[in-house]
């Protein structure tokens, strides 16, 4: 081997095998050879065609496999190979135009990446940086626009299709036009809402987790007037932790929350964090006795008391933007509220430090907060629990 060329079963030292140069070189060196200028007939058409078919087939087979191999560099390899192949035929027919095969290899790589990944601006910058030749910028832009338009006419991009095949709910940057004419209630359809009471039987929790794949459930409770209210959201993973630990099981459905603080102290924060190296526990991994199934759990200490709520007549396009901008997984659709208790503007969220370093206050309303360990708390040590109790009273 000399330079970037592989002497593979060649009789003389100055000879090289063009097909072996593509297969047995690193991808960086192979791309550099394909992009090289003033190298007419450096590769034969038979070798390029053979490499293109085999490399493309291998890329398709290994796509999505759990190996540390991306799609960007192989995409450059495939595109530059058929680009140089086209360049060879153009050079043979138009010898007087002084056309470089390496230029066609670059444009072929741009076309393949633009048609598969649909990233026009970033790919244009990358291709210009590879060649450091601004004269090719108009051609690269034209190739990327055409390849993206052709690809959009048939399907989504490579990464979008991969996410769809894996069942990942990947949202596009903008909602569809039809969503502007739909409301949140219409999107819900006739689905049955699966909710949990605040004090729930262990057997009911197990039954709901086995029959539903939802990752979050609304928690409801009843006021003294008999009105049903949504008091929060509990995650599926948190319910599994409670079932596995069994430390919060009670024999009698308790009606007060005097032990709420002590129940929280029974758990470590790390128990509710999903491990990175595995999928976490499932309902099939939890084994409960018949006595455990007859016990109860108070979910008040483990729910999120302030989930995101949207009115039923809200535009579905706005709901879509909420999921995109806030990274939400769940949104509750509720009836249109009829009472307004206040209005918060942007300036209401500005904080002003006082002379007393232990207190800060909102600039516009003067509401004071206590600073503790570089974190701010309301003067009530636990503000969510009193609010929850007042809501249900």
User: What pLDDT is attached to residue 13?
Assistant: 67
User: What pLDDT is attached to residue 114?
Assistant: 92
Domain range for 154 is 18-165
Residues 371 and 273 placed together within one structural domain of the fold: no
Residues 41 and 155 placed together within one structural domain of the fold: yes
Residues 330 and 351 placed together within one structural domain of the fold: no
Whether residue 83 lies inside any domain: the answer is: yes
Residues 145 and 228 placed together within one structural domain of the fold: no
Whether residue 290 lies inside any domain: the answer is: yes
Residues 161 and 196 placed together within one structural domain of the fold: no
Out of 165, 200, 216, pick the residue that ends a domain: 165
State the Cα–Cα distance between residues 368 and 363, nearest whole angstrom: 9
State the Cα–Cα distance between residues 18 and 40, nearest whole angstrom: 13
CATH of the domain at 248: 3.10.580.10
Backbone angles phi, psi at 304, to 5 degrees: -90, 110
Q: What is the chain's pLDDT, residue by residue, as a tens digit (393 residues)?
A: 444 777 766 766 667 778 888 888 888 888 888 888 777 778 888 989 999 999 999 988 888 777 777 788 889 999 999 999 999 888 888 777 777 888 999 999 999 999 998 888 888 998 888 888 888 899 999 999 999 999 999 988 888 888 888 888 888 888 888 888 899 989 888 888 889 999 999 999 999 999 988 888 999 988 888 788 889 999 998 899 888 888 878 877 655 554 444 555 566 656 666 665 566 778 888 888 888 899 999 888 888 998 999 999 999 999 999 999 998 888 999 887 667 777 777 777 776 655 555 666 666 666 666 665 544 444 433 444 444 454 444
Out of 165, 200, 229, pick the residue that ends a domain: 165
Whether residue 106 lies inside any domain: the answer is: yes
Total residues belonging to the chain: 393
Whether residue 35 lies inside any domain: the answer is: yes
Whether residue 143 lies inside any domain: the answer is: yes
Instruction: Specify the pairing of strand 216-222 against strand 196-197.
Output: parallel
Torsion of CA 343, 344, 346, 349, to 10 degrees: 160
158 SS3 class: helix
Residues 207 and 328 placed together within one structural domain of the fold: yes
Whether residue 175 lies inside any domain: the answer is: no
Residues 328 and 193 placed together within one structural domain of the fold: yes
Residues 324 and 369 placed together within one structural domain of the fold: no
- Cα–chain center distance at 207: 30
Residues 351 and 327 placed together within one structural domain of the fold: no
User: What pLDDT is attached to residue 140?
Assistant: 92
Residues 155 and 294 placed together within one structural domain of the fold: no
Whether residue 24 lies inside any domain: the answer is: yes
Q: In the chain, how many domains are there?
A: 3
Residues 210 and 156 placed together within one structural domain of the fold: no
Q: What is the DSSP string of 222-269?
A: E-TT--EEEEEEEEHHHHHHHHHH-TT-BSS-----TTHHHHHHTS-G
Write the CA distances from 182 to 171, 176, 316, 317, integer angstroms.
17, 11, 5, 8
273 SS3 class: coil
User: What pLDDT is attached to residue 26?
Assistant: 83
Residues 272 and 301 placed together within one structural domain of the fold: yes
Whether residue 311 lies inside any domain: the answer is: yes
């Amino acid at each position: 081997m000399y330079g970037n060329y592989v002497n593979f079963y060649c009789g003389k030292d100055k000879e090289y095998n063009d097909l072996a140069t593509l297969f047995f070189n690193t991808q960086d060196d192979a791309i550099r050879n394909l992009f090289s200028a003033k190298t007419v007939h450096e590769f034969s058409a038979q070798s390029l065609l053979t490499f293109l078919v085999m490399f493309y087939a291998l890329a398709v087979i290994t796509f999505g496999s759990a190996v540390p191999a991306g799609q960007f560099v192989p995409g450059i390899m495939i595109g530059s190979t058929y680009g140089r192949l086209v360049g060879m035929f153009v050079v043979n027919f138009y010898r007087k135009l002084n056309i470089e095969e390496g230029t066609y290899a670059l444009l072929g790589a741009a076309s393949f990446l633009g048609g598969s990944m649909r990233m026009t601006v970033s790919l244009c910058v990358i291709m210009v940086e590879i060649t450091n030749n601004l004269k090719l910028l108009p051609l690269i832009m034209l190739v990327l626009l055409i390849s993206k338009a052709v690809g959009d006419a048939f399907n989504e991009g490579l990464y979008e299709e991969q996410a769809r095949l894996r069942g990942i709910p990947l949202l596009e940057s903008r909602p569809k036009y039809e969503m502007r004419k739909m409301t949140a209630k219409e999107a819900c359809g006739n689905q049955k809402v699966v909710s949990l009471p605040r004090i729930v039987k262990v057997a009911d929790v197990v039954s709901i987790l086995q029959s539903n794949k939802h990752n979050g459930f609304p928690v409801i409770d009843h006021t003294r007037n008999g009105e049903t209210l949504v008091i929060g959201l509990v995650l599926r993973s948190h319910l599994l932790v409670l079932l596995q630990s069994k430390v919060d099981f009670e024999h009698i459905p308790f009606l007060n929350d005097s032990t709420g603080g002590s129940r929280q102290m029974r758990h470590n924060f790390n128990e509710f964090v999903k491990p990175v190296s595995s999928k976490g526990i499932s309902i099939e991994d939890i084994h409960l006795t018949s006595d455990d199934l007859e016990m109860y759990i108070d979910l008040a200490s483990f729910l999120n008391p302030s989930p995101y709520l949207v009115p039923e007549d809200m535009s579905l396009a706005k709901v879509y933007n909420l999921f995109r901008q806030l990274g939400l997984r769940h949104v509750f659709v509720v009836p249109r509220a009829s009472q307004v208790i206040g209005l918060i503007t942007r300036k209401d969220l500005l904080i002003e430090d006082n002379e007393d370093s232990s207190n800060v206050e909102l600039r516009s309303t003067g509401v004071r907060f206590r600073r503790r360990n570089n974190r701010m708390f309301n003067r009530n040590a636990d503000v969510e629990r009193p609010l929850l109790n007042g809501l249900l009273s």
